Amino acid sequence: TKQTVKKQTPIAKRKVISEETSKQIRYALESVVAQGTGRNAFVDGYRVGGKTGTAQKVKDGKYLKNNHIVSFIGTAPSDDPSLVVYVAVDNPKGTIQFGGTVAAPIVGNIMRDSLPQLGVEKRKDQIEREYQWLDKKLIEVPNLIGLSVTELEPLLINLRLKASGEGDVVVQQSPKPGEKVKEGSTVRIYLDSEDGASD
């Protein structure tokens, strides 16, 4: 009819929820990542909050079998967000179709790489991660710099090693000593001669 039924004037500024409610929700979302279905997005040293999503797709008014859009949205630090990452995967193949299984690890990797680039410093006040029996635990990377190749084996029981360079003394490593990584992760080292290491 081209007649305006109702006209709503936008409100310039409006508080949707209280600061206390917002704080509680952010804490709950951090709990999802540390102790719930979003554990695959956990990043050591950063307070990551998030929520999983799993939606069964519909075609011609009927739900499709084994056909989902799985997603995860994460924010960090959860008490003072600098970064929000949303990942959705349409009908992932060869895996259990849950947001916490498929999308959360992707968000975690993006957070792990992006937060240091944004200048967000690590802290020790995050909620402690809760492990289940299938979860890979985080272990601290030892300091390998200055060690000879023969001294490395006993220090890397739960880690893999990838070496480059020539020589028998470790002069560089990645991840850095003290970083926490999942069991089975690869530590890259650069070898040089003992003389080269002292230059």
Model confidence at 150, in pLDDT bands (50, 70, 90)? Answer: confident
Strand partners, 164: 190
Q: What whole-number percentage of the chain has pLDDT above 70?
A: 94
Q: Give CA separation, 119 vs 81, 82, 83, 136, 180, in Å.
A: 13, 10, 11, 28, 19
The residue that leads in pLDDT, 3 or 97, is 3
pLDDT digits (tens, 9 = 90+) for 26-61: 999 999 999 888 988 999 889 999 999 999 999 999
Q: What's this model's pTM, rounded to 2 decimal places? A: 0.66
In the chain, domain spans: 19-117, 138-197
Model confidence at 133, in pLDDT bands (50, 70, 90)? Answer: low
Q: How far apart are CA 65 and CA 11, in angstroms?
A: 44
Please state which architecture CATH assigns to domain 138-197. Answer: 2-Layer Sandwich (3.30)
Q: Is the model's pLDDT at 138 over the cut of 80?
A: no
pLDDT at 135: 67
Q: How far apart are CA 36 and CA 172, in angstroms?
A: 36
Which class in CATH covers the domain with range 19-117? alpha beta
The residue that leads in pLDDT, 146 or 85, is 85
